[in-house]
Chains A and B, each alone.
Chain A
Amino acid sequence: MHGSSATGGASKSRAGPSQPTDASLKRKRGFFQKDLQHMMYGFGDDHNPLPETVSLVEDIVIEYVTDLVHKAQDIAPKRGKLLTEDFLFLIRKDLPKLHRCTELLSMNEELKQARKAFEVDEEKIANAE
């Protein structure tokens, strides 16, 4: 039976020497704990989820993200990290996630545009005075 708690560390140890790995392993404990507690409650768990459950979910999520990123790196040719790789991966399986991603990204774009426009307006006002 795979212990998912070990996998977070295992993927790191392939990347570099063992000492920084241990340090980053320690950092990964309780990494997302507070966020996860709220999230789990929102999705249907108890008001106070069990700590071992939160730890397990955190390990699983870290492993999930790790595998996702590794797969994306496998797909992509050797260049800078692109967003589209994640998408390509998800297209095949998960339509809701894909839609959600596109939504989030387009919202981010809008915000960026609006923020820029806002700053330009501020400058105009400042210059006009």
Chain B
Amino acid sequence: MMKDPFEAALEEQNLETPPESPIHADDEEIINVQPLAEADDYDGDSNLSFPPHASSSVRPSDSTPVVGSGGTGRGKEEEEEEDEEENMDVDMRRVPSGDPDKMAKMKEILSRFTDDQMSRYESFRRSGFQKANMKRLLIGITGTQKISLPMTIAVSGIAKMFVGELIETARIIMTERKENGPIRPCHIRESYRRLKLEGKVPRRSVQRLFR
């Protein structure tokens, strides 16, 4: 029975290896808790330093000031790569950014992750909006239009990156205010306000009245 490749890929991602080097990566990717100077920065800095490394090694377009959008670039894509049904295509997709250098950097970085970082990175990669839910939402918004699957995928990807921008801006705000702990709604609201100012949030040209 043909399984949904996305689901199959999600299940396969129980291995904590970077998807570009699927099978034998376990030998190389011993997650050392090495006393690197950088490791301390990671732990103390509420993971703010984490996205820049991900984005610098992966994204070809790092132009935006919001760091997260670059880092999320490889979010769902790797899940699909691990689908072993498409063996003939695996080689193509194993080089997502088309750059073995970046992949090598990525592997290097991943091998230095602490457990905490690894778990967070895993969540980052594997999380996503369920296609069924997103489809239902889209149908609810548009009325009765038929929503194609690619459209759902695109919107889910866009929404996930938007969440990334929200959360990371909120973290930046928390560092500015020197606060710790879980993110609170006030941070999100401030983050949302800033994103609006930056023009990253679509605004209706006609003011919404009578809320």
Contacts and interface: CB of A to CB of B under 8 A. Distances in A.
A40 B86 CA distance: 31
Interface in B128-161: 128-130, 133-134, 137-138, 140-143, 145-151, 153-155, 157-161
Interface residues of B, number: 88
A61 B163 contact: yes
B193 to A, nearest CB: 10
B97 to A, nearest CB: 10
Most buried by A among B61, B124, B140, B143: B140
B72 A100 contact: yes
Contacts, number: 226
B141 A57 contact: no
Interface in B62-94: 63-64, 68-70, 72-73, 75-77, 80, 83, 85-86, 88-89, 92-93
Interface of B: 2, 5, 46-48, 50-51, 59-61, 63-64, 68-70, 72-73, 75-77, 80, 83, 85-86, 88-89, 92-93, 96, 120-130, 133-134, 137-138, 140-143, 145-151, 153-155, 157-164, 166-168, 170-171, 181-185, 188-189, 192, 199-204, 208, 210-211
Interface of A: 2-4, 6-7, 10-12, 15, 24, 28, 31-32, 35-36, 38-46, 48-50, 52-53, 56-57, 60-62, 64-71, 73, 80-81, 83, 86-87, 89-90, 93-97, 99-101, 103-105, 107-108, 110-111, 114-115, 117-119
